[in-house]
Amino acid sequence: MSVLICKNVQSEGPGTIEDFLKEKNISYHVIEMPAIRDIPMAADYDTLLMMGGPMSVNEDDIFPYIKTEEKLVRDFIANDKRVLGVCLGAQIMAKALGSRVYKGAEKEIGWYDIEISAEGLRDNRIKRLATHPRTGDVSNRLKVFHWHGETFDIPDGAARLASSDLYPNQAFKYGENAYAFQFHIEVKKSMIYEWLKNEAINLEKIKTETEKLFDVYTARAHQFYEDFF
């Protein structure tokens, strides 16, 4: 297995996903997208991972590498390879598959519930995410970490996997191996605190919630990685 990781901004790396890949000795390569225009060896990878970023997918005139990632999405899906998009990466997937990406009613920042759809719970990988790592209980509601202000329509032919009160389209699956998550499954504590240090929010509240929720959240993510990778 070999994983191509598209990193759109310095502060938003693969986090716990990279930890998992190292733990399992899975080969991966991180591409700093602002520094490149083309990835000539993309066909050598069987998994595509696209990370977040503060820019909009609709700013591809300013950030031309967004178009490169859209093409990667279409190529990997056409070849039935694994694709995982996180936040901006999920929005790139939606746009690549023909859907609209646009501003949400307000920013969603911090720990908030998502509701897993019935279709999501029928998906083995999403069910692993919904399974409490200590009790084994499966729940259709769980807290995840959000930091986004844009959203997307679910592409034609895709299945909605999750929603939240503010953002009805939180995750989708396209085909058998392509997943898009608006929320940040990959975060480490250090990433959360770095991202939010300049945001006009109640940081102490988020820190308290992070300390309370993080270990279980990371274990849930690990369960998803086990099945996805």
Q: Is 102 helix (H, G, I), strand (E, B) or coil?
A: strand
Confidence band for 17, pLDDT divided at 50, 70 and 90: very high
* Listed range (20-24, 42-46, 71-75, 180-184) with the worst mean pLDDT: 42-46
Query: How does 104-143 read in b/e, with b if 16+ C-beta sit within 10 Å?
Result: beeebbbbbebebbeebbebebbbbbbbebeeeeeeeebb
* pLDDT value for 200: 63
pLDDT, tens only, 166-216 = 999 999 999 999 999 999 999 999 999 888 877 667 788 899 999 999 999
As to burial, measured by CB atoms within 10 angstroms (0-12 exposed, 13-18 middle, 19+ buried), residue 207 is middle
Domain ranges across the chain: 2-228
What is the third-level CATH fold of 2-228?
Rossmann fold (3.40.50)
* pLDDT value for 41: 84
| Stated length of the chain | 229
pLDDT over 80 (residue 158)? yes
The more confident residue out of 159 and 198 is 159
Which residue's structure tokens are 């959203």? Answer: 151
pLDDT, tens only, 193-207 = 888 877 667 788 899
Say if strands 141-152 and 27-32 run parallel, antiparallel, or are unpaired: unpaired
pLDDT over 80 (residue 37)? no
Q: Is 220 helix (H, G, I), strand (E, B) or coil?
A: helix
Strand order from edge to edge, sheet including 171-174: 27-32, 2-7, 47-50, 82-86, 178-181, 171-174, 159-163, 101-116, 141-152
* pLDDT value for 35: 86
Is the CB of residue 88 less than 8 Å from the CB of residue 13?
A: no
Tokens standing for 131? 């399974």
d(CA 139, CA 144): 13
Is the CB of residue 218 less than 8 Å from the CB of residue 224?
A: no
Q: What is the DSSP string of 127-171?
A: HHHHB-TTT--B-SEEEEEEEEEEEEPPPTT-EEEEE-SS-S--E
pLDDT, tens only, 129-149 = 999 999 999 999 999 999 999
